[in-house]
Each structure stands twice: as structure tokens, then as C-alpha cells.
Structure 1
Amino acid sequence: MSEFEGLVVAVTGGASGIGLAAATLLADRGAQVAVLDLKPDGTPFAGFRCDVSSDDEVRSAIDAVVERFGRLDVLVNNAGIGAQGDVTANDDDEWHRVFDVNVVGMVRLARAALPHLKNSPSAAIVNTCSIAAWAGLPSRALYSASKGAVLSLTLAMATDHLPDRIRVNCVCPGTADTPWVGRLLDAADDPAAERAALAARQPMGRLVTADEVANAIVYLASPLSASTTGTALAVDGGMYGLRPRGPVHHD
């Protein structure tokens, strides 16, 4: 399959985890991929240093991508940071920092990319959201609030940019087996028990894989999905919508 042939895709946070998996699959499908990351060194794709909390860095990175490839067709807004604890656990500075990266960071990228996306025949933006946007997860107040904002932002952008023929969607992963989640597990008192609990929380009984989330991102980004906009696609092992009576035993 090469439905992305001739298209240029920018992926933020593309040097590891879900972002790297998405960049790899997009390249396999024919895209020219630009990875925007705090540490782009070592990526097999064209790497561009980008701190999404800096408007100057964002604009410079997008300009560099367009200068390198001559166009920009798809933006995958994947960069983000985590936070733990209930509503009392983080001070104002941390609330501002997480929102600055997870929400305003996506705004900065979209703002810089829009003039180029408007020139594309296959323009799309895919935001990485989370199951935390629409399920009440424990000890994730700040993170959940930021991802709830991403969900609302996605819908608003999808409406605003209908006249521009720019599709805007988001993917909502459950707990994924990524380096970021691995670091959270390592910090737990009993990492093995914590991993088992996170796996059991998802009705399918296991963590989501980065490749599975990447596949959803690529679907939403694809020109073959030209009638899909304003959609939040769950990749969460059934966590949001399913209510099994008890533990699911797999044959």
C-alpha cells in the first residue's frame, strides 16, 4: 500500500514510542516523514529539533520541513507529557506546564502548519488524545484535564477547517506499552503488580501496543479516509465502551 505517495507528514514526538511507530508505518505507506522531537538524533527519518512549548522553535521546525520537502500535507500532533495524582497533587506551575505542552503545543503546531496544509489536496491533522479524556482514571486529574481539552480542541478544529478541506481527528489510546509507560511502571513500588493491574483494567486483558495506535493514526491521516473528520478513534482494548461482568478469560 502506498496511499501516502508524494505526501509529506510531520510527526511530533516521533523519535520514540507511538510517534516512532506512526512515523515508521507512514514511511512504509509511501510518505516522506519529518520527525519533530526534543531529541531527533538517531531517528531513521528526517529529524528536526522542536520544543512544542516554544512558538519560535515550532515555526522554525515547520519552516525547515517545508524548505526540505517543498510541502506539508499531514500533521501528527503526538508530543505530550504525563502527570500523576489527584487534583491536589500538582501546583499551578505544573498545571500550566502540562497544558502548555499537551494542549497549547498542538495549537502552536497547527497554527504554523495551517498555511501549508491549506495548499494540500490531502490535508489532515491527527491529534494523540487518550482514554483519559472520557474515562475517569484514578490519579490522573491533570493529565486527564489536558487530554479532555485535546478532544474538544479536535472537534472545534474539525469544524473550523471544513472550508479549508483539512480533516482533523484524534486517536484515544488506552494504556500503551511504550517507554513512557515503562518509566511510570519502573517508579512504582511493585512494577510487576502495577503492570498486571493496568493490563487487567482493559477488557481485552493486555496493554495496547504502539503499533496498534500507529495503525489508527495512519488510518485517520490517510487520503483513503477522506470522509472522516471530527472523529475520536478509541484504541483501548474496549476500555471506554465495554462493561464485562468480570475478568475475561482468554482461550
Structure 2
Amino acid sequence: MKTKKNTKEGTIIAPPIREVFYSGSELSYTFNDLTPLKFYHVFVWGINAYGTEGYRSFTNNTFMHASPYADQEKPTPPLHLTASYSTMNGNLLVFFNLSSDNNKVDHYIVTINDSVIRKNASPILGFHSITHPLQRNIPYTVSVYAVDPDNNRSSVVSIHGTTSDEDTQDSPPTDSYVLQAKRTENNTAQLTWGYIHNARYLCIAYYLITENGEIEQPLVHTAGKSIGVDLHNIQPDKKYKVAVIGVNSYGNTGTLKFIEF
């Protein structure tokens, strides 16, 4: 006696946990945020311009699941996101410090008024500086987030502004000279420098010097128009190299001059 099947191939017997409308041309799709070791059943079907649905093909009883060894940790959000507009050349200058991750950051997604820019995550000084053309006298929103190789995404950081703001002088920032880098208590160093003219913001880059004299990837801070800052997480038995440069609204910078402490 044959047992009658209650369902047939391609029939959904329960509400789906997720439906995705995909209109791309690639013959593949990546599902994110899957639960490790939990089984999933995937159906695919087409819909034409009149709303007629095709037959639902599926994974032929081969269940997929997220690997328990996949990276599930999100990168930290990018830091110190700033933007300034150049009325001379019509460009928006976007600046942000890098995120950190338990593995590495693969790339950053920057959105400027719904225009998406992809940037690789290997700048020289530990930050990104992006120049993007933008019309005059309009508001703008800049958003950025980091993505690691397993497609984990950091939180989105956003700022708002308008291109009608008065920008800074076209003159490049004056060179900085660090007056003092003094170690203080609680793994902190107090850094002071001379005032930098024509700068919209400041970039402070400090490198850890290894035992063989090489320097590691720097930590980078931004500041307004101050003449001092506290550097945190300074190891008392390590040597550091530090420099301060100014950045104006056109992306021009002063000359890097390092000191060691």
C-alpha cells in the first residue's frame, strides 16, 4: 500500500521566515544574518510584468545552514566622520577614521545623498579622505559603515550639512610643530602643538615603534582647532612617533613632522 504524500515538491506548507524580491541579473544571491547550525529551505520563483508567478523551484531537499565557524562579530563603527564643502571646485570632502574588527575590515560603504561609493580599507595613515562632487545650495547626508570579509556590517554613522555653508580659505594649512608629548598617569600622553592656521580640522597620527625600529599601523584622531589632546592607551614601556597636520575644506594638508616620545 502506498502512502499518500501530504505535500508535493515546491509547495510551501508554512509562512516563510523571509522573502526577498530580487531583480538583479546575477544567478546567485547571498543571505545574511543566518543562525549557525539552523537549517533553512530556499524557494526561488519568477514573476513577470503582469504579476504571474512561475513554478517554485527549491533546493531539492538539500538544506543549507550557516557555518558555526563563520565570523559573527561586527566591526566597530567608523570614527570622527566629518564633511566640508568647497565652494571653489564644488567638491564635498569626507573624512573618517578606520573601524576595528576581530579579523579585518574588507571595505567601507559611503553614501552621499543616495550616491554609494565603495572604498578599500587600506589607507596609509589609518583614515579615509573622499572627495565627491556635489551641487551648490543643497542639503546633504553622509553615511558610512564598515564591512568585514564575512559581510558583517558595523553600525551606520551619519552626518548632515548643506553646501551653502561658507568654507575655509583656499590656502593650505600651516605646518604644525609639536611642542611637547608628555606621558601622564593611566596610560595617557598629553600632546600639545602650535596653532595651525587655515585648517578646518586636525589629524593626529601616532605610531607605535616596535623593537626592531619599525612602526605599526597608527591610531588617528581628529580635533577642531585646538592646540592639545590626550592620547589614551599609551603603553609605558613602548616608544611612539607622533605628528599633527591640518586639513582645510579642499583636502589640502600641511607637512608631516614627527617627534618621538
**Structure-2-length-normalised TM-score:** 0.23
Higher relative contact order (CA 8 A, sep 6+): 1
Please state which structure has a larger fraction of its residues in strand. Answer: 2
Largest Rg, 1 or 2: 2
More helix by share: 1
